[in-house]
Amino acid sequence: MNYRRLGKAGIRVSELSLGAWVTFGNQFGEDLAEQLMRLAYEAGINFFDNAESYAAGKGETVMGNVLKRTGWRRESYLVSTKLFWGLNQGVNQKNTLNRKYLLSAIDPSLKRLQMDYVDIVFCHRPDPETPIEETVWAMHNLIERGKAFYWGTSEWSAYEIVSAIHLAEKHNLHKPISEQSHYNMFTRQVMEKEYLRLFKEHHYGDVVWSPLASGVLTGKYNQGVPADSRVAFPGMEWLQESVIKPDRIEKVRQMTPLANELGCSMPQLAIAWCLKNPYLSSVILGTSRVEQLQENLGALNVVDKLTPAVMTQLDQLLANNPTK
Ligand code: NDP
């Protein structure tokens, strides 16, 4: 496993990390979660991603119980959670980054995780209703109160992130250190174009999600929707329309012979392709089976096979390079 600095922060995260969305507390419970986390940790993964909203809080509960059982030293791994969507109905309690919400939502998250602090807390989405200055102060206070070591953003625009950095600099507050962005072979615009100056001039970190486009890039949807797949899971039908599209399936079909030539699988190719981006620190994996995680960890051995010539070939197949 290789480790990369998280932007300008002093901490280093494993290039591959493990997340809880859809899976922990939804598709499976503690037993499989423990097998996956142990496999990940033994492979050198030191970063586990979560959010208050995953499985309506159960994602954190499952991860917290597993971490307690493992007895791993708290210093040896990083855990993140994300706040924004909220678990309760009502004004000021959902879809918000207001000060009252942020400073009260972190405690139930920590309780579910059975931790005194998370390493990174992300603002799960931007909140156009709350002044960015209010959010920056709240995140600073949350860190000062010892609830988290660092804070970050997820799916914020470059403008919103730079505004937060400038406000933090102006008031001498803790700055956000990292984004959590959607990034894969099909979704490139933000990571490869919009954020470029953010990465180059502010050395902002990024840990990226859905590297397999919810599984589409594995080829598992080439022949239709398998009954045991994510998009067939009750409550996840909405995902089907947004991720499974004929042109994507066609591109996966076209890339598969190249994966075969390189001696790897499609998921390994797609994950290794993400790792070629020098501005991201970690690719967050999602897996619903031990075999999937074993296979996806193999992506680390594929990165060196992605020579400039192979990357050009992939670029031509994908036909979506936002800088061209
Ligand atoms: P992926 O796009 O990699 O999708 C993971 C899913 O793909 C798995 O759960 C599994 O689904 C399928 N899969 C994975 N590996 C294989 C394989 N080798 N063969 C066949 N199928 C495979 O990642 P996620 O969308 O899960 O995102 C990863 C993490 O990123 C999340 O857990 C979360 O922590 C974070 N995230 C953050 C978001 C944000 O807004 N900040 C949004 C979304 C995710 P199946 O059950 O069908 O087998």
pLDDT tens for residues 61-100?
Answer: 999 999 999 999 999 999 999 999 999 999 999 999 999 9
Nearest CA to ligand 1 atom 16: 292
27 within 8 A of 288, measured Cβ to Cβ: yes
Substitution candidate for ligand 1 out of 184, 209, 266, 294 with most atoms within 8 A of CB: 209
Amino acid 103: pLDDT: 98
From the options 3.40.50.2300, 3.90.79.10, 3.20.20.100, 3.40.50.300, give the CATH code of 3-219+245-318: 3.20.20.100
User: 92 C-alpha vs ligand 1 centroid, how far in Å?
Assistant: 30
Amino acid 235: pLDDT: 87
Going from the C-alpha of 137 to that of each of 30, 95, 153, the distances in angstroms are 36, 18, 14
Amino acid 83: pLDDT: 98
Amino acid 68: pLDDT: 97
Amino acid 324: pLDDT: 87
272 within 8 A of 302, measured Cβ to Cβ: yes
Nearest CA to ligand 1 atom 21: 215
Cα separation, 255 vs 123, in Å, equals 35
Nearest CA to ligand 1 atom 44: 209
User: 286 C-alpha vs ligand 1 centroid, how far in Å?
Assistant: 3
Amino acid 207: pLDDT: 98
Per DSSP, 187 falls in state: B
Beta bridge partners of 184: 187
Which of these is catalytic: 3, 41, 54, 204?
54
Amino acid 201: pLDDT: 96
Residue ranges, the chain, pLDDT below 70: none
CA-derived radius of gyration, the chain: 19
Structure tokens given for 306: 């992605």
User: 23 C-alpha vs ligand 1 centroid, how far in Å?
Assistant: 8
Q: Has 77 been annotated as catalytic? A: no
Amino acid 237: pLDDT: 86
pTM recorded for the entire structure: 0.98
What string of DSSP letters covers 131-180? -HHHHHHHHHHHHHTTSEEEEEEES--HHHHHHHHHHHHHHT-PPP-EEE
Residues with CB under 6 A from ligand 1: 19-23, 27, 49, 124, 154-155, 180, 209-215, 218, 220, 229-230, 267, 284-288, 292, 295-296
User: 213 C-alpha vs ligand 1 centroid, how far in Å?
Assistant: 7
